[in-house]
A and B are shown apart, each in its own frame.
Chain A
C-alpha cells in the first residue's frame, strides 16, 4: 500500500472503488487482518475456512458498496458484514462458535475489571487466558458478541450498535449483563490469586 492510499479515508476509497474495482484492493489490504482476527474470535478457526469466509465478506461488501452510508463508519459497516458471514458460516456448519481469545486474554481481563464501566468485578489479572476463553464460550452468544467487540476489537458503543444493529442503550445493557454472566461462569477455583 503506498503512502497516498495509506492516508486516504475508507470512505474515499469506497467512492473510488465504485468507479474502479481495483481500488477495492486497498479496502481488502486494510481490513483483511482485522476481519480475519474478528471472525476467528467468532469461531471461524480453521485458516482455510477463514479464507473462504473472508472472500465472501469482501465480495458481499463489494456488491453492496452502494448501500454504505458515508455518514457512518465504514469499519462498522464491514464488521457488520463480517459478523453476518461468520454467523451464517457456523450456522451452516451447525456448530456453536468457539473463539480464539488466548493472545490478549490478560489484557482483556484488566479491561473487564475496569471500574470505569461500573462493574463490581475484581478479576485477578493473572488469570490465565484459557479460563477466560472457556468462560466466554459458556455464556450466551449475545453477550459473547458484545464483549468480543468491546474488549477484543475495542469498539465504541456506537460502533457496536452499528455492527450488531441494536440500540446503543442495549449495547450497554448487554455488556453489563455479559460481564455479570461471565463472573458467574468463571470458575473462581482456577483463578491464581
Chain B
C-alpha cells in the first residue's frame, strides 16, 4: 500500500469535504468491488464518477453516506471517517437522489419533499414554506403539485421531486446515482440542463454517478473514471477528452459517433 502523500492531506485541511483514503470494499463473500481508491472532492465542486455497470460507481457513492462501510481504508466526510459518524446524522446532512427516485408512493409530493425536515422536527410553517420554495426551485408549480401523489406525475416530474427532496434540509453534499438514467432521452436532456443551472446557483458539493459521457462533460467539474473497481484517473472535462486511458478514449469515440450521426442527418 502506498504511503499517503503530504500534498493530499494539506488539501484535506483546506477544502476537501469528501476524501477517500486507500478505500477498498469487498462483499461478505469476498468479491472485491472497489480496490485502493483515493480521491477527494472539494467544497462546491461536482465530481462525476463514470464507468460501466459493475465498475464500482454506486458502491463508491454508498460509502459516502455510510450505506456501506469500507473494508479497507477510510472515507472522510468533513475530516471525520464515516465509521465515526452517527449514520443517521450523517445521512440527514447528505442529499441522496437515486435513479428510480424512490419517492414514497403513499406520500404526497409535499410529504415526500418535507421528509427530512420532518425527521428533523422543523416547525410546520417552516416546512410549508420550504416545500413551496423547493418545488419552485426545481421548476414545478407548488399550487399544482404539492398535493399530488407520485403516480400522478410524469417521469421527469418525479425526478424533479426527487431532487427537491434531497435538497430539503439544505445539505452541503448531494449524492446522485444515475439521477436521469430512467428518463427518456428528450426529458433527460431537459431535466439535465435545468439541473446544470441549479448546480451553478446552489454551489453544493455534488457527486454524480453515471455511465453517460455527455452528462459527465456537462455537469462535472472533474470526472473520475472507474473501471473494474479501480479509479483510473480524475480529469477535468477538457483533460478527459484527451485522456490516455483506453476506456476514456472509448467514451470519447462514442461521443464522436453520436456527433457524426447528427451531422450526417442534418
A, B from the same assembly: no
Query: What is the interface of chain B, defined by CB distance below 8 A to chain A?
Result: none
